[in-house]
Structure 1
Amino acid sequence: MKAALQDYHARMQRVLDHIDRHLDDDLDLDALSSIAAYSKYHFHRQFTATFGLSVHRYIQLARMKRASYRLAYRDAQSVTDVAMDAGYDAPDAFARAFRQRFGQSPSSFQKSPDWEPWLAAFGPLDNARSKLMQKTFTTDDVTIRDVPPTAVAIMEHRGDPAMLGATIQRFIAWRKAASLHPRTNPTFNVWRSERRPASPADYSVGLCVGTDQPIEANGEQIKAGEIPGGRCAVLRVVGNTDNLEPAALYLYRDWLPASGEEARDFPIYCQRLSFFPEVPEHEAVADLFLPLK
């Protein structure tokens, strides 16, 4: 039974990876059922039973998520280009679907996103993906590295996690103006609270970019800081890097007590190595660092 279940999950995982990799293509049921090695009728029923979404609905949400990321974080793209990439023949049809899902027009969202309806709209997609994308970590996945200190510029987000997207927008805009491109200047997140604290007002995370140059704030609340060097337990996460809490829990709850190591007095942090939507979501990569004594 266990082998059969693993085979079933592997088939469905192949389908999700194919969808992520080919969002610009015609993802018809015949092709997807062939990838899963099921009959078309059986595949459609199994997909819906597994993920709680029809194949068509899943693809729609995946395309709309990529489109919304491009609107919010990639201001060089026009609404028309984003609509075409999302599989719509006309911007008007895209605008209607977008407004129905998020309560805003694409152009309004591009200028000033309302993040709470956005988060709610993608709840079904996130739930579907988490059913197969929760990785089980082992001690073999963890390495111990001596990392050098890194000077960083920091923009702090404090308060409701639902509003983190707005801070990310400002951070991206600031680092563009400062010519701190991700290819040349590494990106870090430093968590100073739980992902879901008892009070949303207590949520705190630092958005950081590596730079040893003088910082020009340009009206933003930017400060200079440092990610200290030293020994760290490092766990690489590939895919679904929006939520690194399972990986962090593994390091703190499972790996650390069994390792005989002690945590240093600096928060857990990550370095983001590749980003969605520049790469398909299942190819996003982040290294999680637990500082050690």
Structure 2
Amino acid sequence: MRQSYEKRVLRVIAYIHDHLDGDLSLDRLADVAAMSRFHWHRVYTAVTGESLAQTVRRIRIYRASIALVQSPASLEEIAALHGYPSKASFSRAFKAVTGSTPAAYRQAGRALTPYVIGKTGSNKMYDVTTEHAAPRHLAVVPHKGDYMKISAAFETMAMTMAARGAPTAAMVGIFLHDTRNTPVEDLRSFAGAEVPEGFAITAPLEPMELAGGAYAVLHFKGPYVGLQAAYDYLFGAWLEAIGATLREEPCFEVYHNSPADTAPDDLSTDIYLPLG
């Protein structure tokens, strides 16, 4: 299965090389990869270790490095040809990738090596099981923007539920985007809680249904800051090894306790990934 995901990633990288001036949106690249829009960006970053935006920048800089050593064009001309509006913005981007200015690179007379797929970093493994889950009926408060500020939405949801005499239920978080691939202002998430069927849901709460079916469930223990590494494992090493396909449904988190009365190392969170 690893080969299958690498083939998809390599296909996307080849597409980026051939369409640097075209549509390189997450949706378009998900189509090229033939993968779910819900999960593609997380799979890509888990497999490669970088965001799609970083890949696009790396390829632009690679192309520019060739021009620097093979073309007599000015730095301003090379910047414009590779999507940078000014020599200054090109120089900043070039140095961020290479550690050198374009002028110094030109003087050295060597181009960058091409982009090579391959993630480096932690090899930590997590406990993952599979289960067939029933549909979940949620009352949610939507949140847009920085995920670190979703606590206000959870507070609104919990206080509203308590005021209406709702039964105590599991807290659920739905985070639709990978922060490394989406501008912070476009991030969308939901703070929710399970409710019984027939429970009246009115503003500020909104109804949401999470589909039943097959799920991979990663069991995570520890502070929430460690969840990103858990997602990378689930969408990277685990998904590649197990040979699973994904459904066009969002993944979600279920919280079994709360940081309000639980030490960070004892927090218990399950990440649900919908399987085809």
> TM-score, normalized by length of structure 1?
0.49
Contact 1:190–1:269, Cα closer than 8 Å, also in 2? yes
Q: Alignment identity in percent?
A: 22
Counterpart check, 1:171 vs 2:157? yes
Counterpart check, 1:287 vs 2:275? no
2:135 aligned partner: 149
Counterpart check, 1:239 vs 2:222? yes
1:115 aligned partner: none
Q: CA deviation at 1:228?
A: 0.8
Q: CA deviation at 1:241?
A: 2.6
What SS does structure 2 have at the residue aligned with 1:271? strand
Contact 2:139–2:201, Cα closer than 8 Å, also in 1? no
Counterpart check, 1:160 vs 2:146? yes
Counterpart check, 1:201 vs 2:185? yes
Contact 2:147–2:189, Cα closer than 8 Å, also in 1? no
Q: State the distance in 1 between where 2:164 and 2:231 align.
A: 31
Deviations 1:201-229 (A, max 9, x none): 11111111111233343x41x21121111
Q: State the distance in 2 between where 1:249 and 1:137 align.
A: 10
When residues 197 and 177 of structure 1 are mapped into structure 2, their CA distance, relative to the original with a 3 A threshold, is farther
Q: 2:208 aligns with which of 225, 241, 251?
A: 225
Q: CA deviation at 1:166?
A: 2.4
Deviations 1:235-270 (A, max 9, x none): 111111354211111111111121111011111111
Q: State the distance in 2 between where 1:216 and 1:290 align.
A: 26
Q: CA deviation at 1:172?
A: 2.3
Amino acid in the other structure paired with 1:201? E
What SS does structure 2 have at the residue aligned with 1:274? coil
Q: CA deviation at 1:282?
A: 1.2
Q: CA deviation at 1:135?
A: 8.9
Contact 1:196–1:203, Cα closer than 8 Å, also in 2? no
Amino acid in the other structure paired with 1:215? A
Contact 1:180–1:209, Cα closer than 8 Å, also in 2? no
Root mean square deviation, CA, Å = 2.1
Amino acid in the other structure paired with 2:161? R
What SS does structure 2 have at the residue aligned with 1:244? helix
When residues 215 and 288 of structure 1 are mapped into structure 2, their CA distance, relative to the original with a 3 A threshold, is same
Q: CA deviation at 1:200?
A: 1.0
Counterpart check, 1:137 vs 2:117? no
5+ long unaligned stretches in structure 2: 1-121
Q: State the distance in 1 between where 2:206 and 2:240 align.
A: 35
Contact 1:178–1:216, Cα closer than 8 Å, also in 2? no
What SS does structure 2 have at the residue aligned with 1:207? strand
Q: State the distance in 2 between where 1:210 and 1:252 align.
A: 25
When residues 292 and 216 of structure 1 are mapped into structure 2, their CA distance, relative to the original with a 3 A threshold, is closer
Amino acid in the other structure paired with 1:190? I
What SS does structure 1 have at the residue aligned with 2:124? coil
When residues 246 and 284 of structure 1 are mapped into structure 2, their CA distance, relative to the original with a 3 A threshold, is same
1:276 aligned partner: 259
2:241 aligned partner: 258
Q: State the distance in 2 between where 1:243 and 1:172 align.
A: 24
What SS does structure 1 have at the residue aligned with 2:256? strand
Contact 1:215–1:224, Cα closer than 8 Å, also in 2? no
Amino acid in the other structure paired with 1:150? R
Q: State the distance in 1 between where 2:162 and 2:142 align.
A: 17
More relative contact order, 1 or 2 (CA 8 Å, 6+ apart): 2
Q: 1:189 aligns with which of 166, 173, 180?
A: 173
When residues 175 and 292 of structure 1 are mapped into structure 2, their CA distance, relative to the original with a 3 A threshold, is same
Q: CA deviation at 1:147?
A: 0.7
5+ long unaligned stretches in structure 1: 1-133
Give the number of the structure whose residues are more often helix, by fraction: 1
1:87 aligned partner: none
When residues 162 and 142 of structure 1 are mapped into structure 2, their CA distance, relative to the original with a 3 A threshold, is closer
Q: Aligned pair count?
A: 154
What SS does structure 2 have at the residue aligned with 1:234? strand
What SS does structure 2 have at the residue aligned with 1:276? coil
